[in-house]
Amino acid sequence: MTECEVTAVIPVYNDRSALERAIPESLRRLEEITGSFELLVAEDGSDDGSAELVAEWEGRDPRVHLLHSDERLGRGRALTRAFHASKGRIFCYYDVDLATDMAHLGELIDAIRSGCAVATGSRLMPESRVDRDSRREIASRGYNALVRMILGSRLYDHQCGFKAFSRACLEALLPSVQSPHWFWDTELLVLAQHRGFRVCEFPVRWHQGEGTTVTLSDVTGMGSEILRLRWRLHAEKD
C-alpha cells in the first residue's frame, strides 16, 4: 500500500447535493496544505445518487475514492471502515455540509504535524464563532456538560464534525471503540484522554447546515452510552 501524508474523509448519507460542493472544495483546500493526500467519501447506504456522483469524480481524479456500503453502517462504523481503507499518516474527517469553515483545515492538519495525537475543532470555546439556532445550542451545551461531568473530559465540544488523528493513535484506540454511530466521536476523544494521548482543541467558525440526520432516538441513545462508557472506564481502573 502506497502511503500518503493525509487522508481526508467525508461521511455521507443521502447527501448528493452537498457533495457537489464538498468534493471540489476539499480538493482545493487539501492541495493548499499538502501534495500527498487522498479524499475518501464514506458513503453509507445512500439511495439518492451520492455513490454515482463520487464514482464520477473517482473516474477523473485518482485522489478521490468511493467507499460504498449497500447497507447503513452508522457514522462510527463507516468512519472505522474508512480508516482501515486509508493510506494517510494523518487521518481527518469533516461533515459533508462543510459547516466548519474549511479555512481551518490547515490548522487541523498542522496540529497533528506539531505533535498532537488528536485535534478537534470546537464550537463551544469562548473564541468560537457559531451561527445556529438556540435549541441546538442549548442541546449541545447540555450534552457536552454531561460528558465533562460524568466522563471527566477536559474538552468543550465532543461532537464537532471536524477532527484529525495520528495513525498510531487510531490504531491504538479503535479496537476499544464500541459505538457504531453518533457517540463514536465522543468515545474516541474520551478514551484518548484517559489513555494519555495529547488531545488539542481549537475554536472554529461554524455555520449550521440546512438539516441534520441526528434524531431524538440518537440523542437518547448517546445519553445511555455516556453511562455505559462511565462503567467501562471505572472497570478499567479496577
Report yes or no: 116 and 155 within 8 Å, Cβ to Cβ.
Answer: no
C-beta separation of 171 from 86 below 8 A: no
| CA–CA gap between residue 160 and residue 189 (Å, rounded) | 11
Q: φ and ψ at 56, to 5 degrees?
A: -65, -45
Whether 39 contacts 8, CB under 8 Å: yes
Q: Is 185 a catalytic residue?
A: yes
Alpha-carbon span 182 to 78, nearest angstrom: 11
Among candidate residues 44, 95, 157, 185, the one labeled active-site is 185
Q: Is 82 exposed, middle or buried (0-12, 13-18, 19+ CB in 10 A)?
A: buried
Distance (Å, rounded) from C-alpha 26 to C-alpha 221? 32
Active site members: 185
